[in-house]
Amino acid sequence: MKKILVLTSVLFTIFVFSQERQESEKIIQEIQQVKQSNSSMKLVWWIPTEYWQIAMQKQDNITQAQVDYIKDAFDPYTIIVAGDFSLEQSFTGLEFKVNNIKNSFALLDEKSAKVPPLKESEIDEMVVRMINDILKPLFGQMLGKTGTGVEVFIYKNRNSTGQKLLDPTKKGELRTKVGADLFKWTLPLVSLMEEKTCSIDQIKFPGNYLYCPFHGNKL
């Protein structure tokens, strides 16, 4: 129980303060995708293990042992948070509605078949508790009705030989669907690549740049 309390404060600090920190902002912009229209909003947030390291590494009140504990716990899994919301006309005006996403959400494999999420009994007990007791309530506190309306989907992220199925630092692709809407990530994540520096004026560019856009030299 004490461990859970420590983790609650750790995770809470991450979410509250991560907005102010540049490096975690960059990765958040990449791992969160939102599709909006006038009357609907769909959101898919992939939370790779690397996110926890970046979000927690500069916190004075968090030890590296605590960071490692959370990373090790989440690392065997692919964790995706998703929500489907709409605005509907009602008697009293526009009404914010949370749509059931459990059946409309899908993680797709390379053949575009739906990957089944893990059952709770197939997931480490501590991970289930961290997600149900800490993460889900936090989303509610931070994002109100949007936050309480999200679902957390958990998938296996190891093949039979122990390799990661999805590695945000390597070439690959992550594709998910909410209803008919496709949410796609091309990997590696740029925020996890080392920045490149122009040899002429030492200006830094994102890691996926091949040439300096000002001088044309190879980076």
215 binds Zn ion (CB under 5 A): yes
Residues in the chain: 219
211 touches Zn ion by CB under 5 A: no
Task: Please report, for the chain, how many H helices and E strands are present, in that order.
Answer: 6, 11
For residues 109 and 195, which CB has a smaller minimum distance to Zn ion in the complex?
195
> To which residue do tokens 């920045």 refer?
195
Residue 145 binding Zn ion, by CB under 5 A: no
Toward Zn ion, which CB reaches closer, 102 or 218?
Answer: 218
Closest contact distance (angstroms) between CB of 189 and Zn ion is: 24
d(CA 84, CA 104): 9
Q: Is 206 an interacting residue with respect to Zn ion (CB under 5 A)?
A: no
- For 124, the 3-state DSSP assignment is coil
Is residue 43 within the footprint of Zn ion (CB under 5 A)? Answer: no
DSSP state, 122? G
Which of 139-147, 163-171, 179-187, 204-212 is the region at the interface with Zn ion (rule: CB under 5 A)?
A: 204-212
Judged by CB under 5 A, the stretch of 7-15, 90-98, 113-121, 190-198 that binds Zn ion is 190-198
When asked if residue 200 is in the footprint of Zn ion (CB under 5 A), the reply is yes
Query: Among residues 24, 56, 16, which one has the least CA distance to residue 191?
Result: 24
Residues 6+ apart with CB under 8 A from 68: none
Q: Is 219 in the site for Zn ion (CB under 5 A)?
A: no
CA–CA gap between residue 51 and residue 107 (Å, rounded): 19
Stretch that binds Zn ion, among 3-11, 100-108, 126-134, 194-202 (CB under 5 A): 194-202
Residues engaged in binding Zn ion (CB under 5 A)? 198, 200, 212, 214-215
